[in-house]
Amino acid sequence: MLRTLLSLLMVLSLAACSRPGDSAARRAHELLEAGRFEEARTLIDTSLKETPESATLRQERMHLALLLGQPEIAAAEARQILRFNPKAQPYRRPLEDRLPAVRANALKALALDPLDRPRPATLIKAGLKDPDPTVRREAAEATRILELGEAIKLLRSAARDSDWLTRATAARLFGQRGDPSLIPDLFPMLQDADSYVRRFARRSLLELADKAKPDAYLPSLRSKDRTTQIVAALALVRLNDGRGAEVLLSEISNPLGIERVECVKAISKLVDPRVAPALRAATGDKDPEIRVVSLIALGLLKDKDSAGIFKKFSTDASSPKEVRLAAAKALDLLTKPANQP
């Protein structure tokens, strides 16, 4: 008799604590877990017409949007939840969901419409510790909504991630942040085991040159790593600093070099007596692309000593078509006034 009475009191207590819409929300959650999305959507929409302020129903609508890969809708629903209940934490449950896709989409939604509470940095930091790399990548992407100091701290953590794509994301975002203080973080990433990471590190190092001073790159010219030297030299050229010219000139003549085209383009911007002879030598390279960029560079430099080379290649039927066209263009550039393109 006593046990029955206690059970009845518990049921009555739970019923008293239950808010309008909670029962429908629980049923909707069951439907979502079973993959019955349309039934859940219908139930949620119908129930919200009766109880539009139900936070639990809106949480399930947010859950549905995340399951369907609709972060924009989820972000709007999170905002509605907070409108009715400013103390709510709409992202707490999604970021603890068993499905990585839901957790990743929750971070996308957060980045689309950042909330003041809880602090986004707290949620993003937790995302960077997620066991699934997809979630960690989205956490790294979400750092764009943070202030520079907070973002850099978290991106440095992402740059050490075991997942190569997360590291690549960090390398790319380093450049987008536009802070030259990140240059020392990026140079070691040129040695990453993954080529994708190395590519983004290189791109970011060159992007940051527009906002840096030569001193940020000069130490890397003394590196024992050839790639590091070349990227530093390329960045210095963007700063109108020719102290990396020796590295670039040497790389052009290296048949195994992977930056030769960029080196040709870079040295053509330098005022250095060694440039024109090096470009003339490059017009005889085995790689047609090297020949093309060298010919155009010499034409832009109005190098009259190369006129014979231009004429030779423009009429040489054994040369690839693109080389002949480049030679003809260079010859045309040579005959135009210095201020005319």
For residue 303, give the CATH number of its domain.
Answer: 1.25.10
Specify if 40 maps to a domain: no
Rounded Cα–Cα distance for residues 227 and 191 (Å): 9
Query: Cβ distance 172 to 198 under 8 Å?
Result: no
Number of domains present in the structure of the chain: 1
Specify if 300 maps to a domain: yes
In terms of Cα–Cα distance, which of 26, 85, 30, 32 is closest to 55?
Answer: 85
Query: Cβ distance 110 to 123 under 8 Å?
Result: yes
The two structure tokens encoding residue 205: 């190092």
Query: Cβ distance 23 to 57 under 8 Å?
Result: no
Q: In which band, very low, low, confident or very high, does the pLDDT at 20 lie, cut at 50, 70 and 90?
A: low
Specify if 306 maps to a domain: yes
pLDDT tens-digit profile of 270-319? 999 999 999 999 999 999 999 999 999 999 999 999 999 999 999 999 99
Is the pLDDT assigned to residue 6 strictly greater than 50? Answer: no
When the pLDDT of each residue in the chain is averaged and rounded to a whole number, the result is 92
In terms of Cα–Cα distance, which of 288, 295, 304, 294 is closest to 336?
Answer: 304
Specify if 14 maps to a domain: no
Specify if 49 maps to a domain: no
pLDDT at 3: 44
Percent helix, percent strand, percent coil in the chain, to nearest 5: 70, 0, 30
The two structure tokens encoding residue 306: 């190369």
Cis peptide before 114 (omega within 30 of 0): no
The two structure tokens encoding residue 70: 């609709």
Q: In which band, very low, low, confident or very high, does the pLDDT at 5 lie, cut at 50, 70 and 90?
A: very low
Specify if 66 maps to a domain: no
CA neighbours closer than 13 Å in the CB half-sphere of residue 254:
18
CB within 8 Å of 15: residues ≥ 6 apart: none
Query: Cβ distance 267 to 252 under 8 Å?
Result: yes
Task: Look at 304 and 256; give whichever has higher pLDDT.
Answer: 304
pLDDT at 256: 87
Specify if 325 maps to a domain: yes
**Full domain range(s) for residue 293:** 273-341
CB within 8 Å of 143: residues ≥ 6 apart: 124, 150, 151, 154, 155, 158, 173
Q: What percent of the chain has pLDDT over 70?
A: 93
pLDDT tens-digit profile of 93-118? 999 999 999 999 999 999 999 987 77
Instruction: Please report where in the chains the tokens 């135009």 appear, as a residue.
Output: 336
Looking at the whole model, is its pTM more than 0.85?
A: no
pLDDT at 18: 57
Rounded Cα–Cα distance for residues 323 and 252 (Å): 18
Query: Cβ distance 200 to 171 under 8 Å?
Result: yes
Specify if 311 maps to a domain: yes
What is the 8-class DSSP label of residue 18?
P
Distances (CA, A) of 120 to 36, 115, 116, 148: 32, 7, 7, 13
pLDDT at 234: 97
